Amino acid sequence: MAAERWAVIGAGIIGAAVAREILTRHEHADVTLFEKEGHPAAHQTGHNSGVVHAGLYYEPGSLKARLCRRGVSLLLDFAHEHDVAVDECGKVVVATDEVEVERLRAIHERARANGVPDIAMLDRDGLHTVEPQAEGLAALHSPRTGIIDYPGLTEALVADFRRRGGRVRLSTPVRDIARRGNPAGSDSAIVRTPVDAQEFDNVIVCAGLQSDRLASRSGESRNPTVVPFFGQYFILEPENNDLVNGLIYPVPDPKYPFLGVHVTRRIDGGLMIGPNAFLSFSREGYKGLGLNLPDVMAVATDLGFWRFASGNMATAVRELPGVISIEKFVDEAARYVPELAGAGGHRATRGIRAQAMNRDGTLVDDFVIDRAGATLFVRNAPSPGATSALAIAEYLVDTVEGRA
């Protein structure tokens, strides 16, 4: 009997985890991992803050909450087994006024319901015990939140996949995926690249920033569309490295769709602030203006984006000063760590978030997975997608096998 043939499209952290998951379950399967770039983790995975989220904010019982908590456990086990750098440095979410204190209490209850370990509310003195340089009325402390080398982790996933017999095709963009009906009744799929076409029994598409385009080229709906938002990071001068022990986050404001600037330790020992969030002129432009005309035109002709923009001018006004001025960017972080006022440093390569958006202009905040014959399209895998990657891989393979 011929081995079952699988294809995974995209070697970011989720695609790499999916490819490995298939071979952990089906050691004799024939699995190919396609990646259009010359190395794994080239896009969102390689341009994020490196945070391993504990699951504070998500609706208890939701898929996000369940996959995050399961994902943390799998991620840390894999990292320790494969010598990937990881540090459970802890995190505080800091409230600066009474309104934020009330929001913080609600987050505390949600985190407890999600089973986040060792979570605790702190008063001002308690905050100073954990983060002596931080200022606020109260804080939520998550000592098990951590940071990790996500590109290194992805490389380790790909290496383990190869060791298990998997095939990796780098520098191989996928043009489209065609359905093929078979006389026996089980559909298959044809994966077409610029150089060949191959038939597979199952295909899982983890295309991130290009997910809507690949789905559309494959005859599926373009919606939800991807609207790219960039996030800038500012790496502080080394003399600031000891000001913060872990991660310092603001309390989310429900009026704004994005979290806001926070202070983050880096796995290399440095300290950075960011990200902000602003419309990107490119899906994959990480330096300079990052201007890509087709990407600009895609946003300009997206009715959902204009509906979103009309209702979120306050967000743009809030984020724009930090985009234009490094000083304003640093000042925002100094609200929580006053010692950072006037700190020097340099801009890091920005990240770009694949924000899925509905036709009505609402942001898609949960996982979107579409089935088309033998192909599963991951249309949206929002934060904490990287944290949850190994659990998402389990869920996707379960879905293909009819168990999810």
Would you give the end-to-end CA distance of the chain in angstroms? Answer: 26
Which neighbouring-strand residues pair with 250?
94
Tell me how long the chain is. Answer: 404
Q: How many CB atoms lie within 10 A of CB 403?
A: 9
Q: What is the pLDDT of residues 104-124, one digit of tens each?
A: 999 999 999 999 999 999 999
The pLDDT, as a whole number, for residue 260 is 80
The pLDDT, as a whole number, for residue 185 is 59
Amino acid at 202: N
The answer to whether residues 257 and 315 touch, using CB atoms and an 8 Å cutoff, is yes
The pLDDT, as a whole number, for residue 278 is 87
Dist CA 134 CA 130 (whole Å): 9
Burial environment of residue 344 by CB neighbours within 10 A (0 to 12, 13 to 18, 19 or more): exposed
Domains annotated on the chain, with CATH: 5-45+151-224+365-400 (3.50.50.60), 91-142 (no CATH), 225-361 (3.30.9)
Dist CA 258 CA 273 (whole Å): 15
State residue 209 phi and psi, 5-degree precision: -65, -20
The pLDDT, as a whole number, for residue 173 is 98
The pLDDT, as a whole number, for residue 183 is 62
Which stretches of the chain score pLDDT less than 50? 1
The pLDDT, as a whole number, for residue 404 is 62
